[in-house]
């Protein structure tokens, strides 16, 4: 999916306003889907929150039946208040967060680990009751090799870290359109 600079800006503002609404009675701005039809399309999205370049929350939906704009608003609030790895974001932290949005492509099953492109693909593993997802930027931000990326997805899903060496994982890849509040439009 391609988004214009204006559409990215609208989504970032909506994410921030949605998080602000947790502390006040504000609402995200109303959207004119006629002027911005891409924001009405159904797509999975994740919102990542960072403070001083450290992860502070990240939650999203792999797919969504609601418009992208509404998905971003919803997952922004979840990332701020419901990421189980962190205490809920405080009002004092609101001015410190950097918001990043990842709009996901559809998932694609792969037959071989060699199909994974570091920096381009995110990973979704589903093994029995275990499930884990890593966004494409995780590998590049951490300078992961393919082996490290596969080990990390196993750990994220609660699997043995080297399970990928012992059996072919039920793995899907996806790409993401990633942008944040530091990007210039």
Confidence at 25, pLDDT banded by 50, 70, 90: confident
Domains of the chain, start order: 5-104 (3.30.700.20), 108-174 (3.30.1490.150)
Tens-digit pLDDT profile for residues 33-77? 999 999 999 999 999 999 999 999 999 999 999 999 999 999 999
Q: What is the pLDDT of residue 170?
A: 96
pTM confidence score: 0.93
Query: pLDDT tier at 27 (50, 70, 90 boundaries)?
Result: confident
pLDDT in tens, 68-116: 999 999 999 999 999 999 999 999 999 999 999 999 999 999 999 999 9
Per residue in 129-150, pLDDT tens? 999 999 999 999 999 999 999 9
What is d(CA 123, CA 34) in angstroms, rounded to the nearest whole number? 33
HEC sequence for 137-171: HHHHHCCCCHHHHHHHHHHHCCCCCCHHHHCCCCE
Chain centre distance of CA 97: 15
Distance, in Å, from the CA atom of 87 to the CA atom of 51, rounded to the nearest integer, reads: 14
């Amino acid at each position: 999916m391609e988004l214009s600079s204006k559409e990215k800006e609208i989504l970032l503002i909506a994410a921030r306003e949605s998080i602000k609404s947790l502390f006040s009675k504000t609402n995200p701005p109303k959207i004119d889907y006629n002027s911005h039809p891409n924001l009405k399309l159904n797509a999975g999205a994740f919102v990542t929150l960072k403070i001083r370049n450290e992860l502070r929350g990240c939650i999203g939906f792999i797919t969504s039946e609601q418009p992208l704009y509404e998905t971003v608003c919803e997952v922004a609030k979840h990332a701020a208040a419901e990421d189980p790895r962190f205490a809920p974001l405080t009002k004092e932290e609101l001015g410190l967060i950097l918001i990043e949005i990842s709009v996901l492509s559809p998932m694609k099953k792969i037959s071989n680990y060699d199909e994974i492109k570091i920096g381009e693909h995110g990973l979704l593993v589903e093994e029995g009751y275990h499930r884990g997802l890593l966004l494409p930027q995780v590998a590049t931000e951490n300078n992961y090799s393919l082996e490290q990326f596969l080990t990390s997805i196993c750990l994220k899903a609660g699997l043995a870290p080297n399970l990928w060496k012992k059996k072919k994982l039920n793995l899907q890849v996806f790409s993401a359109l990633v942008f944040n509040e530091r990007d210039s439009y």
